[in-house]
A and B are shown apart, each in its own frame.
Chain A
Amino acid sequence: MITNKLTNLKPKCSCSGPSSTLLNTSMSINIQQTTAELGIVDHFTHLRLRLGISRYSKVDPGIYKVGNPDQDSLVFISANYVMSFNKLRNALKGMNAWIMVLDTKGINVWCAAGKGTFGTNELIKRITDVKLSEIVKHKIIIVPQLGAPGVSAHEVGKATNFKVIYGPVRAEDLKTFVNNGFKATKEMRQVNFNLTDRIVLIPVEIKMILKYAIAASLLFYFINHFGSNSNFINDVLIMLLLAIVSGTILSPILLPFVPFRAFSLKGFLISLIAILAYIAYAGLTSPYLVAGSILLFPALSAFISLNFTGASTYTSVSGVRKEMRRYIPFIIGFLTVGFILITISLVRGI
């Protein structure tokens, strides 16, 4: 579907000369034209993905032309997640190049490489399927560095004679990388997790927690409704909101500035400060409500923050396992005791 849209976009046609011989050899291969320019539709798709409105948006696997490439033009490899593909073609503005899209089931390069779908076998298969050795004369393919967890460069070389060159982490560095004779600086090889990187993840974090937040709100509402029907419910719902904001928004933003390395502790601390501030501001004195809130809400944020390890770019599986073993028992304990205390407070109005 996406590719239809892409191919409908006007191909930059300065078509004379170089590709004529090419067309003869590639008659049986389905080569699609794409552009380096991104249109409104593309930006709209990116926005939908960023907001978590849609999760997957696929490009057809295969071979694409950017500009008017010939048999000497460079070949860049991408995933069939639309944002991966779009970032790559956009970075190739002004170049004549080939893009070979692997079938990664609509998953981005790094995640797909972790799963192995952006991997050695798929790369070898795709090189064979599109008859890459007939499309270009050279034996070089440029694979994004973040594809490396799934791709064994020497295995691909053995199987296809194509030499894998790992490009930079970010597509926007590609031109510099190519112009420097395939040399990447240290910065180009490093994955960051800067403020912008973290902020763009927030909408999806909120979306993931939304239904649980609504369920928890309703639960408290009914406990109160059939209990004491006290005003405490307002405080509870505000603190629940504070806990969710702490976990989904403040934690990602403040991540590097909060002490502790464990994500759950970062989330716990941020939320604890917010809850204590609210208790002081609202002048809460009910011992059940105060104690319950200090336990439940920070623990809830700790759990949300713990899940942010998956979105971060630097947590190891061994590390996350250790963090979970160490802190999940506390989180469960705090949540349980906190919930019981708040329930007592709401039921009895004390």
Chain B
Amino acid sequence: MNNLYLKNIVTLKLDKEACVKCGMCINVCPHEVFELKNSKLEMINRDRCMECGACQINCPVGAISVKAGVGCAYAMIKGALTGTEPSCGCGDGDSGCC
């Protein structure tokens, strides 16, 4: 099942010139956003990006940028009410409660 969230909203950017095609982003992406096509890295499922930031932090040449954060309404409401950075206080389950 391909779960899709809102279209055309994620902050993910790829600098194809800087990319060294190491494939690390392909390894760490949980939603198959990247693919090497004809030895070029492409974002084939950009709308599936959940902005977890794994590709950015693991890109050895800084070719990927994304404003990473937790896609959690509860965390954002809590953050807005307390005037702090949105951060979920959850440790339950392993299905990505953040």
Contact = CB atoms under 8 A, between A and B. Distances in A.
Interface of A: 49-50, 52, 55-56, 81, 83-84, 87, 105-111, 113-115, 120, 145-146, 148-154, 166, 169, 184, 186, 189-194, 197-198, 200-201, 204, 255-256, 261-263, 306-307, 309-324
B67 A191 contact: no
Given A145-B27, A316-B9, A309 B93 contact: no
Main secondary structure of the interface of B (DSSP, over half): loop
Given A115-B87, A154-B60, A191 B31 contact: yes
Interface in B63-87: 67-77, 86-87
Contacts of B57: 120, 148-152
A328 to B, nearest CB: 9
B58 A314 contact: no
Given A109-B94, A313-B30, A320 B4 contact: no
B32 A322 contact: no
Contact of A83 (B1, B71, B94): B94
Nearest to B30: A191
A84 B48 CA distance: 25
B3 interface: yes
B93 A50 contact: yes
Contacts of B70: 114, 310, 317
A312 B96 CA distance: 6
A256 B3 contact: yes
A83 B88 CA distance: 19
A111 B90 contact: yes
Nearest to B35: A186
Interface in B1-60: 1, 3-7, 9-11, 24, 26-32, 48-54, 57-58, 60
Contact of B58 (A114, A146, A151): A151
B72 A320 contact: yes
A149 B69 CA distance: 10
A154 B69 contact: no
B6 A261 contact: yes
Given A256-B1, A310-B88, A314-B3, A200 B95 contact: yes
